[in-house]
Amino acid sequence: MSDAAPMAFVGDSLTQGGDWQTWLPGETVYNFGVGGDATDDVIARLDDVIGARPAVVALLIGTNDLAWRRSVEHVVRNVETILVTLRRELPEVRILVQSVLPRGHEFADQIRDINRHLWQFAPTVYAHWLDLWPALALEDGELNPAYSDDRLHLNAEGYRIWVDELVPALERVRQLPPTSRAITLPDLG
């Protein structure tokens, strides 16, 4: 990793709970994770992220929308709005969109649908995609209980798995020009 301009992590309690500065030594990290936030909340505070002028934005948001019974379309539309706004306001920023994490298996179909849409949309705004689902989900779509005590929040092992996936993705993002090509997208079949 590089010690270039700052990196911003944007999201909800999953992001807020990360010890990003420790896990990414040599980086200047801003943690814009707020417990309980849904996509509407991130839109409302996006000016704070833009004002920080990060070189990289790592976005993970959407699971709390499902708890509020918001539709897949609502989540996707709002994340698209976040990405378009970041691209417009910070044209040189490198954006890493992270898949909505698995939680209880009853949410699996909705989360898969959200992730499929975001995976398809990310390249249209020159954002890069990191699919965390394979590393964290059981076959039925449940968040692996080895990584969570409540079927939603990550424990230390869950964060370790996330960081193991995140670090190489951030390295790839840093190496690419900000508005070039997307990281090769996975087959979500």
Domain count, the chain: 1
Confidence of residue 74 (pLDDT cuts 50, 70, 90): very high
Look up the pTM and report it: 0.91
Contact 130, 164 (CB under 8 A): no
Q: What pLDDT digit, counting tens, does each position of 33-45 carry?
A: 999 999 999 999 9
> What CATH code is carried by the domain that includes residue 15?
3.40.50.1110
Is the residue at 2 inside a domain? no
Phi, psi of 60 (to 5 degrees): -145, 110
Is the residue at 183 inside a domain? no
Is the residue at 132 inside a domain? yes
* C-alpha to C-alpha distances, 21 to 18, 30, 87, 142, nearest whole angstrom: 9, 8, 25, 29
Is the residue at 30 inside a domain? yes
Is the residue at 72 inside a domain? yes
- Pairwise CA distance, residues 32 & 11, whole Å: 6
Is the residue at 189 inside a domain? no
Which domain does 13 fall in, by range? 7-175
Q: What pLDDT digit, counting tens, does each position of 6-55 carry?
A: 999 999 999 999 999 999 999 999 999 999 999 999 999 999 999 999 99
Is the residue at 94 inside a domain? yes
Is the residue at 11 inside a domain? yes
